[in-house]
Every structure is written in structure tokens, then in C-alpha cells.
Structure 1
Amino acid sequence: MANEIKQVALYIRVSTDQQAKHGDSLDEQQHTLNEYVRQQGNMRVFKTYIDDGISGQKLYRDEFQKLLDDVKKGRIDTILFTKLDRWFRNLRHYLNIQEILDKNNVTWLAVTQPFFNTETAMGRSFVNQSMGFAELEAQMTSERIRAVFDNKIRKGEVVSGKVPLGYDIKDKHLVPNEKAKIVKEIFQYYLETGSMRATVRHLENHFSMTRDYQSVRQMLTNRKYIGELRDNKNFCKPIIDRDVFERVQLQLSKNIRMNKKRDYMFTGLLVCSECGCNYSATAVISRYVRKDGTTNPNERHLYRCTKNRNNAKKCSNKKGIYETTLENFLLENIEKQAEELSVKMQQEPEVKKTKNTNDKIKKKIDRLKKAYLNEVITLEEYKKDREELEALLIPERDNKIAKIDLNSLHNYSTAEFRDGYKQLTISEKSSLWRQVIKNIVVYPDGNLKINFLGY
């Protein structure tokens, strides 16, 4: 067993140009690892995995994920890298991946730091302690930075972040500028109207300033406008009177209470054809006045493109659709669109053609990598040619999503189904549609396209 040839994977990572200057360049790591393999005599390089420009804090690195796939397929015995920080800098990520390696009987070794390894109990303990200390150091650094920030805030100095509208920074302090009058008008306008939507439009129409609901709400709740930041009640010169500010907060809280929780049947299923943004729903309440003077409120749910609703300049699709209209459309058309999809799926050879094309491109990428590793081409040539090849890859349909049985959708048009459907709650109806529908695309002319799960 001692002389058995091990299949080893070489893992190389550089996240910054600065690391390359300190002996961690791709070429230097490659040379060190190959030299180590040559000296051992019982190792064969299965494959070299290179992540260029990727942080060790990130778990999802392209080549790293390919390495894990090969580990799970039993193709690798040992993983080699130059230093532990080329592998991981996050203890939680390290432990999660180590569990996968242990399950597949795969070990690793930092060749320039032999005291870091997983083949001995002492080595494992040393790795865990070292990573734990690294995280502790990061936390202590964070606490020191927080202490510095707290001291600056006590002195009224700007720490970081975006400067609020209506202020400039002078000598590290916030000072009101000529746009402070805009801030005052926005607070007053919201107080008079009580409408966030009207306030957003007022800001755009009168001051040519485009803001979404969230940013205007952040403005209206920013306590810097009354001179406060955290525990410092005199952080800067206020723009808004405290009484006005507190009345605005009261109005905001009233609006939140009025917007009670509602169940919308198609939340997350509708997609705008123009910008790709999801449609969001609002309750539209109309009141019918009876002859006796009493009212009969009627609530309908209207879906609109979220981006268009917040800012019409960002998306031109103004088409809104009521929940009842959409529900009737599905009941009337789901069988028809399922049949059209079945016909389209007869063109499956086109999918195979796409896969064959992509396989050829991936083989070219592998040959390109071998050319670089064998020093036939330079790193710059490798990166340039790889980017060009990857741009040629054709997007493939996601086959991981379970396909629905299109034939089963014929049941949706039967009288028995519709009778049972009427008895369902909104939540149950929503769950039913989500079992077969991936999304519904809404076009400006009112046309709708159903995309089924797995297709």
C-alpha cells in the first residue's frame, strides 16, 4: 500500500496582484506543487484547478467547485496546495468542506507548511486552532475599528457611508448645503399627503430627482436630519425640526398598520417581459354606495411591474393585471399552452446539438489549460483565450428541476377540477399553481406566456 500511486489534485489560487508580489503568483504555486509531486515518487497529477482573482473567504469558486465534483466521483486521493490560506480563510467553510473530504477518504496537504495536514490528529488540531485564531484576530480588528468609529461619532466627525441629501462634508463634519430646502419640502409634503407614492413623484417632477420608495423612506427616517447619530444628540446641525420629524414617523407607522398582511395568489410568479423584474401586488379597494347610504367595499388584487411602479423611467411596461383576470386566463389556457409546449419539445435534437457544441468548447478550454500548464502559452494568453471560449458557450436548460407531466394538465380543464378549485383557499390555490408553473411572463400588449416547471 505504501508504494501505491496516489491521484493528486493541485489547487492554485491568487486573489490579488499584491499576493503575486509576495511569492503567491500562479506560476510560482504551479512550480512548487509540481516539484513536490516529482520528489514524492508515488503521486500522479490527476488535474490542476486554478482560481484566479477569487477570495479565500468565498466558498463558491468555479474551479474549486469542479474539484469538489471530482472528489465526490472518487477520482482524487489527495489535494495539494502551497499554503493553508490558498485553501480557506474561513473556519466554518473549511469544516463543512472537510466533512465532504472525510466522507470520500480524501486528504490534503499544504506543501510549504507540512505541519498543516489532515493525515494526523495533531495536524487536524493545529489547523482548527490556526483558523480559529485567524477568525479571532479578524473579530478583534473589527472591535478596534468600531471603537475608533464610536470615538469619531462622539466628536461629530463623519465616519463613512453616503452623505445624506442636503449636507456637505467640511472639516470632517456634516454641514447643510443649498439642497437642505429640498429635504425640508419632502418632509412637509409627505406630512401633508401621507402618501409615499405621491412624495416620490413630487421629488421627481419638481426636483428631477429619481428615487424609489425605499430610499425616500430612508430619508424620512434618517435621524441625522434632526442632528442625531446613535448616542450623540448633537452630531450635526439639524435640517428638520424635531416636531416635524416625529410627526412624520407617526404618519409612517400609521401607514404600516393600514397595510395589513394580505394573501396574494401569484406573488413571485409574474415576470415583466421588458425588464425581467417581478410583478408585485397591491389591494385596490372600491366602495359601492347602496340606496340606504351604506357602503359595500370591494377588494381586488392588482399586479404591476415593481420597477415600473417605483419609477416609470426604468421600465416602460405599464401593463397591470388583476388577480381574477389572471386566474381565469390560467383555467382557460393552461391546457392549450401545455399542448404547444409538447409540440415544441419534439425539437429535442436541438437541445442535444447545444450540448454537443458546449462539450466541444469545454474540451478546447481543457486543452488550453494544459497548454498553459506546460508553458506553451503565457498566463495572459491563457486568460484571454479562455474568456473568448467561455463567451461561446450556449446556455442550457436547467435539467435539475423536476419536469412536470404535461399530460396531467388536461385535468385542469375538467368540470370536476373547477368545482373542487372553487372550494380552495387563496393559499391552497397558490400552492396548486406553483406545483406546475415556473413563472408567467406579462407583455405590454396584455399577452401572457406560461413557463412550466422543468421546461
Structure 2
Amino acid sequence: MQYVSGIIAGAAPLQEGGGVMARSKDRARQEIKAGKSPFRTATYARLSVDSAVTESDSITSQQMLMRDFIKGRNEFLLVKEYQDDGISGTRFDRQAFDSLLGEVRKGNINCIIVKDFSRFGRDHIEVGSYLEKVFPFLGVRFISVNDGYDSFDKDSADKKLAVILKNLVNEYIAKDTSVKVASSYATKQENGEYDGGRAPYGYAFVDERKTRFVIDERPAGVIRDIFTWTIQGDSALVIVKRLTKRNINPPKAYQDTGDFYRREKERRYWNEYTVSAVLQNMAYAGHMALHKWKESKADGISPHMLDESEWKITKNTHEAIITEQDFGLVQEIMRARKERHKSLNALDEAVIRPDNLLKGKVLCGDCLVPASRMGANYQRKAGKVRIYRYRCRTYREKGAQECSSKSISEKDLEAIVYQAVMAFICQVECLDDRISRFHNDFFQKMCSHIEKEKGVAERAIRQGKNEKILLYKEYISKERGNTEQNGTECACKDGVTDGNKVWYLKEKQKKDREIRYHEERKTQLQEKIALFERLEKEQAGWIKNILSYRDTALEEKLTAQMASLFVDKIFLYEGKRVEVVLNFKDEYESLYSCMGQVWGTEEGRI
């Protein structure tokens, strides 16, 4: 399991027989007995979307049960409650579950409580791995209330077989439920009943079962406009810009908020993919296309889209927004556009698609959105050539009111980045030469001088401490002499004892200052030695790695290895201005400053 290996990879190796796990658990048990700090506890509740929900299984009921269990038990401190609503127990990639594990890894949670094992998960292998490996390794206490299971209770070891059997039953129930739900969906599809969760944009459900819907006039008007503009020849990008200019909320934002128009600070927009999805949705012609996706928890089949030939299409199930004739015409237009695009951008066998060396690194400098890499074929004397450009995605999709136009060819951008990388390599080469000259000309002499100064400081510290001891002995001797000669009471009256004490404290403070001065001097010298060691270490580390790319200057172009090693981010601005952010820049500036500190010292001028 990936999660387990990720934890163990960064941890100390386990001793034979699982010694680390046992010690972690034993310490926790000792804390319970001794009444020490309470367990930092989190509760976890889960409900599957396809479950037949009963009152006892609801999220609220699960949380109430676990709160009642914790109530009055001083060994638990409830830190947070986690819940995954509508997530299958056969999956472990759940949002709240992942957040809980994140807090566990940080050490913020060391006790997890669930209603029963089925709420934690229905995959017996995964559940067993957490109970037997992950949680013991992290020293986490796990409690299943209804199952009477407590991982820190020694009696729970006798219940392991029951736990295994219960997990197997839970997994069987999950698969059986999956089969029944699939059968239910199949029946709905045969009857032409909608099973997509939300009604298509432009429609609203008419019944509580959410299987039939009617036209929702305001968004339906947008659907009609989209089809009309397409028939008139507008591209999806042009339509996106029109809808954005009219400030109309995209489908998901409208369904989430009920707001037809986009709010002032809302940053959800239409895009070409959404427009294309609308144009291809036969629901707008009054037909129901079901069984477009397939998933089976019982057979372990992940969600995937089926071929159009496998869809179940039921004609005339609801009122149409678009006429059959217009819908068919738009499909022909889209097919023609797709073929034209393929023909225009198809790569000949003789043309090699350039590698995307800067993938994921190019962003708009204003909106900070990743730039679009767009390619097109151009006919040249030598044949068809594939040329790429980077453009601001926000401007392209949403227009000038959201961002400004920025565009640069990939070839020009790679040349700029190459020049930036080579300039940085030259800077590092100069720094390396400076470090080498310092090492050859001054390093040994400086180290010898510093060690000598350090020895002087250490001797002064020892001498100061010895003088403090002698000073104290002298003070005690004077006190005893005064007492024997005059008696304690008489001496105090004459002020002799007080005078000795003042003298002693004054001399002691003087010695303390001298010792402190030499200790600080010793610390400064140690820091300088550490600086020298750092110069040697970094010269043999990242500096050597960077200088190994000096030979690539002969190629005079950016390579994939150079882009990966050197380039962090690239920001595009208007007028083809580019900002290249390089890796190792912080290390370079820190080391350059370090060299300045060394050369600026008295030792550096020896």
C-alpha cells in the first residue's frame, strides 16, 4: 500500500519482531495508567452515497454515538470530527480521511474513533493493513465503538479473528450493494429515467425522485444562443468570450448558487470544453443518453467512458430546447471542424513533434495561470513544420477584461531561457574560481590563525574560571580572618564583612565579563571555521553539478536536462518580456554573501 511505504521510507528502520511498534504502544499504555496527557482524539464518520440510509447510520447519529462514548472519559481530548458523506467504503482516497491521516502524520492526532469497522472501510486488506501496520507504527490508538475493539486494550488481541471476519463480511456487503445499485440503474435506464445526479443546464427537476425534468427558461435561452451562434459560424472560443462579456455564470456555478449572472468577485467562467459539451448533449434535443459511463465495485472496474455505440438512447423523453434539425446540423458542423482541425494539425511522418521542455513551468506574469502551449503546422520550403507558441490562457478564453494578451514562440522562449541558464552558469563558475583561489592562497593560513586564536580564547576561559575559584577562596579566607579576630557581630558593625562581599562581587563580575568575552570570541571563530567547511562542501556539491553543464554550451540550445535542473518558473509579460526564475539562485546568493563575510574579516586579509 502506497501510504504505508511512504511513511516507513522516512522513518527509522524497525527492529526484528516489530520492536519500534511495541515500544510506541507500550508508552501509550503507560500514559493511560499514569493518568498523563489525554489522547488527542479524532472521530471519523462515513456514509456511502448508494446506501439505504437509516437513522442509525446517518452522519449525525454516528457522531452522537462517538461523542457519548468520549463523554466523561478523561483519557480522550476531542480535537476534531471528520466525515465523508457520499463516499464508498471500498475507496480510501477520501478527502476527510486523507485530512485525518495528514494530522496523524504530523502528530496532532494519536487516537481515532469510529462507530464500527464498516464506517472506516469495507476493503479487508486495506483495513487490516492500517490496523496491523500503519497505526501501530505511528503509535495511534484505534477504537471501534460498536465492535468493542480498542487497539490499546490487551484483551482486543483475542478479537482479531472476529475483526478479520467482520471486514470480510463488510467487503462482501459492499460488493453486493454495488451489484444491486447497478441493477437499479439499469432498470432506470431501460425506462428512460434520468440518473445523472443534476439536471442538465437549462432544465430543472419536476419530481422529488429527480428522474424527470422540465425547461428552466433563463439558462435555456443561453443554450439556444449557443446553438444559434454555432450555426452562424462562431467558434467555441468566440462563444466563450460572448458569454463572459455578458457576465453569465457557467453551468456548474449556476447549479451550485442559483445565480444566473456571475458575481463581481466570482472567478468561475465558461470555457471551450463546456461549450463543446453543451453542443454535443442530445438532452437538448429531447432525448436521453444513458449508460455513458461504466463502473463496478464488485468487479473492480474503475469509472471509464463507454463507446457511443454502447450508450442507451431513449428518444423523446422530455421537452426539447433545440429542434432535431438544428441539433443534427450542429453535429455536422462540429464533425467538419474536427476533421479540418485534424487535417490542418496532423503530423506528417517526416515531421517530429518537438519535446515540451518547459512543461508546467510557463505562467502568465499577471494572472499567474499556466500558459497555453498551442501548436500548428506551417508549410515551408522544406515541408510542413510544427511550430508552438505560448499564450495567456485567461486572455484567450475570457478576454481583455480579465487579462492582457501575451504571446511568444516556443523557439524564442527556449533561446531566452538558454541564455539565462548559461549566464547563471558563468556566475557560478566565477564563484567557484573565487572559492578555489581562496582555498589555495588563504585557507590553510587562515585555518591555522583561527585555530591559534581559538586556543588563546580557550586558555583565557580556563584561566578566568580558575581565577574565579581563587577569588572565592580569598573572599572566604578574609571572612574567616575577620570572624576570628573581632567576632561576627563586631565585624558586621564595623562594616568589614560587607566590604569584603562588595569587593568579591565586583571582582567576580569583572572575571565573568572577561570569560564571556572570550567565549563569544571562541564562538565567532567556530562559526568562521563552519563557513570554510560550508564553502568546501557546497563547492563539491551543487556547484560541481552545475558546472558539469558548461560543455552543453557547445550545443547552443536548451536541453531537457538543463530545463529540469535549472528552471523553476517562467513568467510571461506583454511585449514578449520574460522573467526566468532559476533553481539554485538562493543557494548562490547565500554562498556569495558567505564569501563576502570571509573576505571581509581580518583573517581574510592575512
Match of 1:6 in 2: 30
Q: Describe the SS at the equivalent of 1:229.
A: strand
CA distance, structure 1, for counterparts of residue 130 and residue 118 of structure 2: 14
1:55-90 CA-partner distances (Å, limit 9, x unpaired): 49557555643434559xxx98xx574744598335
Give the equivalent residue in structure 1 for 2:148: 114
Q: Answer whether contact 1:287 1:296 (CA < 8 A) is retained.
A: yes
Superposed CA offset, 1:23-75 (max 9, x none): 322xx4444654xx6xxxxxxx9xx573334449557555643434559xxx9
Aligned equivalents of 2:363, 2:184: Cα separation in 1: 46
Query: C-alpha distance in 2, partners of 1:175/1:80?
Result: 48
Instruction: Give the equivalent residue in structure 1 for 2:102.
Output: 65
Alignment check: 8 A CA contact 2:371 2:392 kept: yes
In structure 2, the CA distance between the partners of 1:109 and 1:233, relative to structure 1 (3 Å rule), is: closer
Tell me how far apart the structure 1 counterparts of residues 248 and 84 of structure 2 sit (CA, whole Å).
40
1:438 has 2:568 as partner? yes
Cα-to-partner distance string for 1:224-254 (whole Å, 9 max, x where unaligned): 1332322242222442436325414523542
Give 1:420's match in structure 2, choosing from 546, 555, 561: 555
Partner of 1:52, secondary structure, is strand
* Residue 197 (structure 1) aligned with residue 237 (structure 2): yes
Indicate whether 1:214 and 2:273 are aligned: yes
Q: Given the two structures, how large is their TM-score scaled by the length of structure 2?
A: 0.48
- CA shift, 1:13, in A, is 1.5
Match of residue 419 from structure 2: 332
Residue identity (%): 14
Return the match for 1:265 from 357, 360, 371: 357
2:339 to 245, 254, 260: 254
AA of the residue aligned to 2:159? G
What is the aligned partner in structure 1 of residue 388 from structure 2?
301
Q: Which residue of 2 aligns with 1:23?
A: 65
Specify which of 107, 116, 130 is matched with residue 97 of structure 1. Answer: 130
In structure 2, runs of 5+ residues without a counterpart are 1-21, 33-38, 46-57, 86-93, 250-268, 291-311, 348-352, 432-537, 587-606
CA distance in 2, matches of 1:62, 1:182: 39
Q: 2:141, 2:218 → 1: CA distance? A: 64
Structure 2 Cα separation of the partners of residues 24 and 109 of structure 1: 10
Higher Rg: 2
- Of residues 431, 448, 455, the one that matches 2:579 is 448
Matched residue type, 2:360: G
- Report if aligned partners of 2:199, 2:213 keep a CA contact under 8 Å in 1: no
Give the counterpart of 2:318 among 221, 225, 236.
236
Tell me if the contact between 1:220 and 1:248 (Cα under 8 Å) persists in the aligned partners: no
**Contact map agreement 2:44 2:120 (CA 8 A) in 1:** no
Q: In structure 2, do the counterparts of structure 1 residues 136 and 442 end up closer, same or farther at CA, with 3 Å as the change threshold?
A: farther
Shift in alpha-carbon separation, 1:198–1:62, aligned structure 2, 3 A: closer
Of 264, 272, 280, which aligns to 2:372? 280
Query: Which piece of structure 1 moves more, 178-187 or 309-318?
Result: 178-187
Q: Distance in 2 between matches of 1:147 and 1:61?
A: 31
The answer to whether the 8 Å contact 2:389/2:409 transfers is: yes
Match of 2:515 in 1: none
Q: Is the 8 A contact 1:84 1:110 kept in 2?
A: yes
**What is the CA-CA distance between 1:213 and the residue it aligns to?**
0.9
Report the counterpart of residue 405 of structure 1 in structure 2: 542
2-side partners of 1:435 and 1:276: how far apart? 22
- Once the two structures are superposed, residues 279-298 of structure 1 have per-residue CA deviations (whole angstroms, 9 ceiling, x without a partner) of 1200144556xxxxx79655
Cα gap change, 1:139 to 1:251, in 2 (>3 Å): farther
Cα distance 1:101–1:297, how it changes in 2: closer, same or farther (>3 A)? same
Q: Helix, strand or coil for the counterpart of 2:165?
A: helix
1:145 and 1:109, CA in 2 relative to 1: closer, same or farther beyond 3 A?
closer
1:155-213 C-alpha deviation (Å, 9 max, x unpaired): 55544544434445556333484765654553464466484323434555689676201
| Aligned residue identity for 2:104 | L
Deviation at 1:268, TM superposition (A): 0.8
> Which whole-Å deviations, capped at 9, do the CAs of 1:303-324 have from their partners, x for residues lacking one?
1232332223674142222212
CA distance in 2, matches of 1:313, 1:137: 55
Q: CA deviation at 1:134?
A: 3.6
Unpaired segments ≥5 residues, structure 1: 38-44, 289-293, 344-402
2:453 matches 1:318: no
Does 2:88 correspond to 1:88? no
- Helix, strand or coil: the match of 2:554? helix
Contact 1:281/1:302 (<8 A) preserved = yes
2:189 matched to 1:130? Answer: no
Deviations 1:315-353 (A, max 9, x none): 41422222122212122223556869x99xxxxxxxxxx
Q: Distance in 1 between matches of 2:218 and 2:83?
A: 44
